[in-house]
Amino acid sequence: MPIKVQSNLPAIKVLESENIFVMPNEVALRQDIRPLKILILNLMPTKITTETQLLRLLGNSPLQVDIELLQMASHTSKNTSPHHLTTFYKTFDQVKDDRFDGLIITGAPVEQIAFEEVDYWDELCEIMDWADSNVYSTFHICWGAQAGLYYHYGIQKYQFDEKLSGVYSHRVLKPNHPLMRGFDDSFSIPHSRYTGVRSEDIRRHMGLEILAESEMAGPTVICNRTGRQVFITGHAEYDRETLANEYFRDLSRGIDIQVPYNYFPDDDASLTPPLVWRSTATLLYTNWLNYFVYQATPYDLNTLKKKPPKKKRK
């Protein structure tokens, strides 16, 4: 089944060329089914690229998915045109009275800044608190996962000596968990960050489970016991060239950075990196949509139980 988006979203042409079924709003209105409502809070600077990456994965399932894109009102994007943002994105004030089956909170290149010093931190806390009562399951990515673990559980992030960048091997710890169904014993996905969380901090919380971890990249797939909070510390959604683009960008800025680990053949940055994580990413997002959104969310989203407001972490 298709993903449902605005008919002129730039990602549509790319996805249709990959045989991913994208349905304009006007066509979807003629179908007599309730699509899953997914809200994407896109914090990445390369917003159009991130839209395409996520829509590709959300569209590769038998479920019809209705997408809304969300931006921060308290932050001015320097890398995406105002026209694109005003045309395709909403602010929190425009969606806060709605309810959604799922929410995706992307990463952001702010991991070296203290959470409370990020210019949109207060707004993000408001959204994460709102999601407890207005979203059935929230999928956090990279810095978004660190922010969610800190806000909900007080789990700190730790600075690395150098950037963690590359494609890392992970082992599945809970093969019978719904999110891990169909996974091989080990899998690879990219990571790109300067900070991380520690397994021992996560295991102190009885409500959290580490489903997969990497010897080099640390805990990677984390879920709370209800499945309503999923935290992915890597970037399964990345394209083949994403790490390369980040590497060459950092070099052009004069940043002393290592070649991404296990990425370019023979560590030769002139060669095309192999894409070895696409099927893993597809399975991960399909499992989330199926087991923690489609099968678990109530048909009438108005029946989601409200929770008392969470006190903001200072």
**Which of these, 294, 302, 282, lies nearest to 236 by C-alpha position?**
282
Q: What residues have CB less than 8 Å from 210, skipping those under 6 apart? A: 173, 174, 199, 202, 203, 219, 221, 222
Determine the residue type at 51: E
Catalytically annotated residue among 68, 111, 213, 237: 237
Task: Please indicate whether residue 223 is annotated as part of the active site.
Answer: no
Instruction: List residues bridging with 224 in a β-sheet.
Output: 208
Task: Please indicate whether residue 162 is annotated as part of the active site.
Answer: no
Q: Rounded to the nearest 10 degrees, how much is the dihedral formed by the CA atoms of 29, 30, 31, 33?
A: 50
Catalytically annotated residue among 111, 142, 152, 177: 142
How far is residue 12's CA from residue 126's CA, in Å, rounded to a whole number?
31
Task: Please indicate whether residue 241 is annotated as part of the active site.
Answer: no
Q: Are the beta carbons of 77 and 51 closer than 8 angstroms?
A: no
DSSP tag of 264: S
Catalytically annotated residue among 152, 170, 191, 235: 235
DSSP tag of 288: I
Residues that are catalytic:
142, 235, 237
